[in-house]
């Protein structure tokens, strides 16, 4: 499994798409956070990263599918998955190796954004006037959110040979689980459906962690969410092999 993980990670790092994706994420978040007057921290006047953590999920919604769309779709199109499947590895091990490689790339894309936190710590008045607990919780939540979108992207890539279709399916599902359920919970107010849709919404659990509260229920939700989509990917891949 480690060999497949290393192969996938180096394949991503050697692809131009990965660098374009990370570059777009850092460029857009940097411009919105520091330069555009309507969203700039310097104009806002408060030492916090709420704007960045509110923006990042929507950037992830498009950028992570761009990373994951080639996971299975490209291998099936080029016929190289047959060689990979012939190795003494289970389908789940192959899926986990691809999942962890994409998640590692998401982690690498978040590392440069720590410079934002460092800058605000020193720009604050007095220096260091920032809620470190909320920032830590938000980064953990953002990484878990990224893992959820990666699992969706891996699943979308497994159901088609076309990378563009895999990208579109992943974006659509990511939008539904992040914003769709949240909107439905606000429509069905004062009813049982409100609490059900609120619990299903990824946004609700991400916002809970962004407040600096690390609740085990949120962690269980994200782990269950990832396992659900990885399990569906295993069924798709196993069914095609059969």
Q: What is the pLDDT along the chain (242 residues), one digit of tens a residue?
A: 767 777 777 777 787 878 888 888 888 888 888 777 776 776 666 667 777 888 889 999 999 998 888 887 776 666 666 666 666 667 788 888 889 999 999 998 889 988 888 888 777 667 666 777 778 888 998 999 999 999 999 999 888 888 889 999 999 999 998 888 777 777 766 666 777 777 788 888 888 887 767 778 889 999 999 999 999 998 888 766 55
The closest alpha carbon to 139, from 126, 130, 128, belongs to 130
Main-chain phi, psi angles of 35, to 5 degrees: -110, -40
Find out whether 88 and 185 touch, Cβ atoms under 8 Å.
no
List Cβ neighbours of 152 (8 Å cut-off, separation of 6 or more): 65, 68, 170, 173, 174, 177, 229
The Cα 223–Cα 20 span in angstroms is 29
Helices vs strands, H then E, count in the chain: 14, 0
Q: Is the pTM of this model over 0.85?
A: yes
CA angle 87, 91, 94 (to 5 degrees): 70
Task: Count the domains in the chain.
Answer: 1
Main-chain phi, psi angles of 16, to 5 degrees: -65, -30
The range of the structural domain enclosing residue 99 comes to 2-241
Residue 45: count of CB within 10 angstroms of its CB: 8
Find out whether 150 and 102 touch, Cβ atoms under 8 Å.
yes
Tokens of 169: 């399916």
């Amino acid at each position: 499994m480690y060999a497949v993980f290393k192969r996938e990670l180096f394949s991503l790092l050697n692809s131009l798409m990965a660098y374009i994706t990370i570059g777009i994420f850092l460029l857009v978040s940097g411009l919105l956070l520091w330069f555009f007057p309507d969203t700039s921290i310097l104009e806002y006047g408060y030492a916090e990263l709420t704007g960045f953590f509110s923006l990042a999920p929507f950037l992830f919604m498009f950028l992570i599918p761009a990373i994951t769309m080639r996971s299975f779709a490209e291998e099936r199109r080029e016929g190289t998955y047959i060689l990979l499947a012939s190795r003494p590895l289970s389908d789940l091990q192959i899926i986990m190796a691809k999942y962890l490689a994409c998640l590692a790339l998401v982690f690498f894309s978040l590392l440069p954004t720590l410079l934002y936190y460092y800058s605000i710590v020193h720009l604050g008045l007095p220096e260091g006037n920032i809620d470190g607990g909320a920032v830590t919780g938000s980064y953990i939540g953002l990484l878990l959110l990224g893992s959820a979108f990666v699992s969706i992207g891996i699943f979308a890539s497994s159901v088609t040979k076309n990378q563009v279709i895999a990208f579109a399916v992943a974006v659509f599902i990511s939008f539904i689980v992040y914003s769709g359920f949240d909107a439905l919970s606000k429509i069905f107010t004062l009813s049982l459906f409100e609490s059900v849709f609120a619990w299903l919404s990824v946004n609700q659990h991400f916002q809970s962690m962004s407040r600096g509260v690390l609740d085990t229920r949120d962690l269980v939700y994200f782990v269950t969410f990832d396992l659900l989509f990885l399990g569906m990917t295993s069924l798709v891949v196993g069914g095609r092999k059969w």
